[in-house]
Amino acid sequence: MPYHFKETTSVPERFFAILPPDWREAISPYWPDYADTARIFTLETNGEVIGGGILFSTPAPDILSYGAEAEHWFDQGFLYIGFLWIAEEHRGRQLGSWWLQKLRELLPGQPFWLSIDDYGLRAFYERNGYRLVKAVEVETGTEWVLIDDGQGGAIQ
């Protein structure tokens, strides 16, 4: 099955439609505030969006509770990867890894950062070159910050 990595920022609904309801509610109503500073990249097969993520250059709605941490990474030139999602029926095919690789190919040398609230996802991101650098306590629990410095290593 051929997969395609596409920028779909101009039609965000195509990506938002596949997100779990709580994720969709966390981004869709706020998208007009981010449309000029974020980019959506999807994975598609046969014209169907099966996954994707959003690349933010300003603090995303899901990280506003730890804005100082976000500003630290943005000030160093990092871009934030948020809402990375692969439809459940397409998991187990390394599509999340493929999405991250395509993003690196599109923006070689660009450093990225992200946060996870499920510690179990750490191994996935570490296999893809990210390094855990910090745990941040927020109202809803712990968020773990991981980075990819864009140079094949990780900085702090």
HSE-CB of 99 using CA atoms within 13 angstroms: 29
For domain 4-114, the CATH class is: alpha beta
Residue written as tokens 């990249």? 41
H-only helix segments in 17-94: 21-27, 31-34, 67-75
- Give the Cα separation of 7 and 12 in Å (integer): 10
Per-residue pLDDT of the chain (156 residues), as tens digits, is 799 999 999 999 999 999 999 999 999 999 999 999 999 999 999 999 999 999 999 888 777 777 888 899 999 999 999 999 999 999 999 999 999 999 999 999 999 999 999 999 999 999 999 999 999 988 888 999 999 998 754 433
